[in-house]
Amino acid sequence: MNEKRKIRVATCSLAGCFGCHMSLLDIDEKLFDLLEMIEFDRTPFTDIKHCGACDIGIVEGGVSNAENAHVLKEFRDNCKILVAIGACAINGNVPALRNNIDLWDCFQEVYLYEGGLEGNQIPNDPELPLPFDKVYPVYEVVKVDYFLPGCPPSADTIWKFLTDLIEGREPKLSYEMLRYD
Amino acid sequence: MNKTITIDGKIVPFTDGQTIMDAALGAQVYIPHLCHNPEFKPHGSCKLCVVSVNGRNMTSCTMPAAEDMVVANNTPELNDDRKVLVQMLFVEGNHICPACEASGNCQLQAAAYYLNMLSPHFTHFYPPREVDASHPDVFLDLNRCILCELCVRASREVDGKNVFGISGRGIHAHLVVNAASGRLGDTNLVVTDRAAHVCPTGAILIKRQGYRIPIGQRTFDRKKISEVQMESTEEGKPDHE
């Protein structure tokens, strides 16, 4: 009955590749230890559809379309601590290479001019989120409390960062753990 | 040779005409720097080497050492300023390290690691400069250029060719190639030129050499930039004249 309330953690991937989530899973059997300390709210690992009140929100990927922005805002509104994880969330990374190409040119190239397409048209269903002109780092859209660089950060780095945060320490990365690539 | 300054409490000898940076390098004291390279005349653009001299901030690469100077270098305040300078360089360019061949061998990245930069903090510029791949052996990605002018200096002073220059004002300043066409392929640069190898970032790269060094064995994978640059000073013993 006196069991300590578990830290509640939500994660999401915006304009990400899920590589940061895979790197989190790379902590392997420490996942059992992690689940002793935390419980997951909305994340690709659970079936929860919307982010509820959480202690920690972890965001992978930059912001490239309207749905990304909505999800990010929901995370910011519900998470006490918001963490930008991986190069995409921090500087837009490889997806941001499209920032110097006109969005309409991108769409035409992929949906109209690419060979082998039949009935070519640019998708226009309102179900689909509209892309932004550029890919934005998450901190250019909402306030971010912590940054965990890497593409992706290694499992050891993620483990060190998460355990610091969960146990109430200021996260600190050694030189070997700090990488942008 | 009995004139001295102190840097962070350490007594450092110097000879007349040496800068604070020269004296520091000679005494194996690391002052962070990007545009300085002991082989070339000081430039003073990156501002990372700013130190506090008798209470005033000055660039150590251009400030001549003078008897009894008291220099503060490795302080939290100066390192915080240096981190902000590196963050400014990151957002000014497109420093997509995961897709850059210089990653692990890049002094800008290594300086950011040394200064514990966790994010670029400021709003990104995402500059739209085009890659110049016109040369058979060398290519330019000017979105990674930090305007240190080492290639400009190397081409003029060592290669005797004057291949590179800086043009434009303010944020529009950028590296240019001194050919009528503006293309690197139309210059007399060759792959063995010093200018092709002196770039501290991934702005000037040799073609067909990328990703040859395994991760873990690259220059800054195991050693900090402070250690690497002190080692190279010891080995090379560059002249400080």
Q: Where are the domains of chain B?
A: 4-74, 81-209+217-225
Query: If you classify domain B4-74 with CATH, what class do you get?
Result: alpha beta
Q: Which residues contact B112 (CB under 8 A, 6 or more apart)?
A: A180, B83, B86, B90
Q: Indicate whether B215 pLDDT > 70.
A: yes
- B241 pLDDT band, cuts 50/70/90, is very low
Q: pLDDT per residue over A25-38, tens digit each? A: 999 999 999 999 99
**Would you tell me which CATH number, out of the four given (3.40.309.10, 3.30.70.20, 3.40.50.300, 3.30.360.10), belongs to the domain B81-209+217-225?**
3.30.70.20
Q: Indicate whether A1 pLDDT > 70.
A: no
Instruction: Give the Å distances, CA to CA, from A83 to A76, A90, A179, B118, B140.
Output: 10, 10, 16, 12, 35
Identity of residue B17: G
Kindly report the backbone phi and psi dihedral angles of residue B58, in degrees, each rounded to the nearest multiple of 5, phi listed first.
-145, 155
| Domains delineated in chain A | 7-96+132-177 (3.40.50.700)
Interface residues of B toward A, Cβ cutoff 8 Å, are 90, 94-100, 103-104, 109, 112-113, 116, 118-121, 123-124, 126-128, 224
Q: Which of B113, B120, B127 sits opposite A178 (nearest CB)?
A: B113
Share of chain B above pLDDT 70, in %: 97
Q: Indicate whether B233 pLDDT > 90.
A: no
Q: What pLDDT score does B1 carry?
A: 56
Print burial letters for A63-97: b (CB count within 10 Å at least 16), e (below 16): bbeeebbebbebbbebbeebbbbbbbbbbbbbbbe
- What is the overall mean pLDDT for chain A? 95
- B235 pLDDT band, cuts 50/70/90, is low
Residue A63 structure tokens: 């912001």
Q: Indicate whether B205 pLDDT > 50.
A: yes
Q: What pLDDT score does B232 carry?
A: 81
Q: Compute the nearest-CA separation of B225 from chain A (Å).
A: 11
The more confidently predicted of residues A74 and A109 is: A74
Total-model pTM: 0.95
- The interface pTM score, or ipTM, of the predicted complex is 0.94
Q: Residue B113: its chain A contacts at CB < 8 A? A: 175, 178-179
Identity of residue B12: V
Q: Measuring CA to CA, which residue among A67, A43, A37, A68 is closest to residue A57?
A: A43
Find the residue in B nearest to A140 (Cα). Answer: B123
Print burial letters for A124-142: b (CB count within 10 Å at least 16), e (below 16): eeeeeeebbebbbbbbebb
